[in-house]
């Protein structure tokens, strides 16, 4: 079982491919791989990661949320699994905010996302749940869900003028949010 994961970088074909559904969530091999990925995410301190980003072409991702400089009111939600997600509804309205991605290091962009979404997915215990997300979690959910369908945040950007390099973003945007 793989415990050390490499993050695939944009250009790798697995990041551009639709991932396969997870057919047997309770299978020991799947459970072990999922838990290894969870330890990896906790170690990295990221807000989320989608399985294709570490070369696992399956429909699942890990999400979490904690307050940060861009989203001081983001809820504190420990990492949880989203498996075989489907979006069943979304708001008519959307908003643009900054995103980054471990698979596209050094780049930030203003990305439009629906304000809120209603989704159905399975948990690591194999239960099906239906939830509504708004704010930061809605944004991160849409970002990670895109990875399962071979999309990255740059695909959603409306204009090249909404793209910044990390270094400049840190100077201009992250500072001003504090
Ligand atoms: Zn990403």
Q: How far is the CA of 49 from the centre of ligand 1 (A)?
A: 7
Calpha distance 93→84 (Å, rounded): 25
| Enclosing domain of residue 66 | 13-177
pTM of the model: 0.94
Assess if residue 4 is contained within a domain. no
Assess if residue 118 is contained within a domain. yes
Query: Residue 96 is part of a domain; what is its CATH number?
Result: 3.90.45.10
* Mean pLDDT computed over 13-38: 97
Predicted confidence at residue 141, as pLDDT, reads 97
Assess if residue 60 is contained within a domain. yes
Q: Given 20, 144, 158, 168, which residue is catalytic?
A: 144
The answer to whether the annotation marks 147 as part of a ligand binding site is yes
Is 144 a residue of the active site? yes
Q: Where are the beta strands (DSSP E) in 33-74?
A: 48-50, 60-65
Predicted confidence at residue 39, as pLDDT, reads 93
Assess if residue 95 is contained within a domain. yes
């Amino acid at each position: 079982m793989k415990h050390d994961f490499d993050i695939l970088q944009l250009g790798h074909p697995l990041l551009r491919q639709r991932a396969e559904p997870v057919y047997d969530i309770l299978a020991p091999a799947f459970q072990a791989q999922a838990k290894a990925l969870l330890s990896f995410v906790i170690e990295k301190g990221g807000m989320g990661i989608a399985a294709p980003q570490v070369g696992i072409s399956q429909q699942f991702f890990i999400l979490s949320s904690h307050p940060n400089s861009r989203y001081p009111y983001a809820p504190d939600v420990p990492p949880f699994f989203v498996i075989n997600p489907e979006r069943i509804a979304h708001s008519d309205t959307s908003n643009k905010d900054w995103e980054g991605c471990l698979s596209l290091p050094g780049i930030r962009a203003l990305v439009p996302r629906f304000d809120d979404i209603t989704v159905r997915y399975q948990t690591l215990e194999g239960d099906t749940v239906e939830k509504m997300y708004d704010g930061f979690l809605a944004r991160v959910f849409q970002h990670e869900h895109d990875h399962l369908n071979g999309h990255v945040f740059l695909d959603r950007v409306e204009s090249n003028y909404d793209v910044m390099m990390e270094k400049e973003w840190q100077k201009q945007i992250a500072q001003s949010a504090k």
